[in-house]
Amino acid sequence: MKISKKDVEHVAWLARLGLTEEEKETFKEQLSRILEYAETINKLPTEGVEPMTHAIPMKNIFREDEAKPFKNPKLIVENAPEQVEGMFKVPKIIE
């Protein structure tokens, strides 16, 4: 599949990129080669191959979300921009 200069200009416009004429020609050639390679992949026999999201089995390990006491609460607010009596000071939003 060949990409035209007009296609490159359209993609550049969508991405809000300003390209020189030389860059447009370079990208036209590069994108054409990428799509040609993708077409060779489409020719591979995939009958009977199940769709997958990962090449290897993945397993998420979740833990229960439980509150636990923190041993040194002063460390929590140590880098806060403002603090009062060991707590974060935030702007008042409700009157």
The model's pTM is 0.49
pLDDT tens-digit series, residues 48-90: 988 888 888 888 888 888 998 888 878 888 888 998 888 889 9
Q: Tell whether the model's pLDDT for residue 35 goes beyond 90.
A: yes
User: Which tokens in the block code for residue 56?
Assistant: 């290897």
Give Cα 79 distance to the centre of its chain. 29
The phi, psi pair for 83, rounded to 5°, reads -145, 150
How much is the pLDDT for 79? 86
User: Which tokens in the block code for residue 95?
Assistant: 């009157």
Confidence of residue 29 (pLDDT cuts 50, 70, 90): very high
Domains of the chain: 5-42 (1.10.20)
